[in-house]
Amino acid sequence: MQFTVSINQVKALEWGLNSQQALLFAFVYAAPSWAAPVKTEDGIFFALSKAKIVEELPLLTDKADTAYRMLKALDEAGLIELSSTSNITLFRLTKKAQEWNKKEDGSEKYPTPPQVKGRKKIRSTSEKNPSKVGKKSDLGSEKNPTNQDTSNHDTNQDTSHSSQEGSGEPNPPAGKVVALIPVGGEEPRCEIPADMPGTKDQSCKTFKAWANYAMAYRKRYGAWPVWNAKVAGQVSMLVDRLGIDVAHHVAAYFVRINDSKLVSRMHSLGDLLQNAEAYHTQWVTNRQMTGTTARQIEQTQANFSAAEQALEALRAKRAATHAE
């Protein structure tokens, strides 16, 4: 846990940040001094796992999905740029963000020496926090250095900022990034395993729907669903019919329905697409309509109708008796 976080209240108010956003940005602003750099096609970013945010800022939130939504808010405010690999969230500060640590004359309050490859890295300093000098761990090494205000310097790889690429092992779900499997109204997020078939482009309209369906499918059946051109078209049609903000919820919910017909067909996307609107209603009401449930309702209605007919016949008989 990070003991001390310094917030520039003037800038926070100027930028319209609330207290939670200001707390998170103060943490993110210092992250490049210790987070692992990752080279992408768009330049250098820094690895920052949502689990690490939860670990270091327990006052902020205890949910990884909430931490990610707050990162998105900082991105929308023009303070950071977000990116990602298949298994880690990436960020970098914008030009606007650099004003956070500026004096009125434009100079830095706490200058941070530029990083030079092959040399020792000097962390930012303040009166309360003396500088520390040490070599930066290589990306993928057992441990990555953490912030100087953090109590636990033995951060394990579960919550470190290493991209963990090249480990040769699939990435296990870590908490509920983009695969959203609704549980109790929440939208828990989990890192997408590298071996998941299908699109990995998070900007694609079918990404979340497919990721939810695929993750729920693997959880239930122990294997990934098949991805091909037909399946891609079905997912696209599902999103068109239900909407991009809802389709992924319904897709995950569908795989949990314990209907004998669906189970025997292993919850095929064709079945989901055929009755998409009905499954949407089941998701909204959280009431599964299986074949057995439908027969029970039918039988209940039949019994009710029979009772109504019997009562009507009795009334007719009584009316005839009084008429005589």
Residue 273 exposed, middle or buried by CB count within 10 Å (0-12, 13-18, 19+): middle
Q: How far apart are CA 259 and CA 274, in angstroms?
A: 15
Amino acid letter, residue 178 = V
Q: What tens digit of pLDDT does each residue of 262-292 get?
A: 999 999 999 999 999 999 998 888 887 666 6
Number of neighbours of residue 249 by Cβ within 10 angstroms: 20
- Looking only at the bridges linking them, the beta strands covering 133-134 and 179-180 are unpaired
Are 112 and 33 spatial neighbours (Cβ–Cβ below 8 Å)?
A: yes
Q: What angle do CA 289, 282, 224 make, to 5 degrees?
A: 90
pLDDT at 322 over 80: no
Band (146; pLDDT cuts 50, 70, 90): very low
Band (81; pLDDT cuts 50, 70, 90): very high
Q: What is the DSSP letter of 224?
A: P
Number of neighbours of residue 70 by Cβ within 10 angstroms: 22
Q: How far apart are CA 163 and CA 66, in angstroms?
A: 21
Are 131 and 125 spatial neighbours (Cβ–Cβ below 8 Å)?
A: yes
What average pLDDT score do residues 41-62 get?
89
Among residues 45, 34, 120, the alpha carbon closest in space to that of 82 is found at 45
Q: How far apart are CA 316 and CA 156, in angstroms?
A: 81
What average pLDDT score do residues 76-104 get?
86
Bridge partners (DSSP) of residue 121 are 134
Kindly state the tokens that stand for 264. Answer: 């025997």
Residue 200 exposed, middle or buried by CB count within 10 Å (0-12, 13-18, 19+): middle
Among residues 101, 128, 103, 104, the alpha carbon closest in space to that of 112 is found at 101
Q: How far apart are CA 296 and CA 239, in angstroms?
A: 32
Sheet of strand 80-84: strand arrangement: 37-40, 43-47, 89-93, 80-84
Q: How far apart are CA 252 and CA 176, in angstroms?
A: 12
Q: For CATH 1.10.10.10, list the domain ranges present in the chain.
A: 9-134
What average pLDDT score do residues 41-58 get?
89
Are 99 and 11 spatial neighbours (Cβ–Cβ below 8 Å)?
A: yes
- Report the range of poorest mean pLDDT among 11-25, 221-235, 304-318: 304-318
Looking at per-residue pLDDT, the higher value among 9 and 107 belongs to 9
CATH of domain 9-134: 1.10.10.10
Q: What is the residue-averaged pLDDT of the chain?
A: 75
Q: What is the pLDDT of residue 108?
A: 55
Among residues 184, 183, 214, 210, the alpha carbon closest in space to that of 199 is found at 210
Q: What tens digit of pLDDT does each residue of 232-252 get?
A: 999 999 999 999 999 999 999
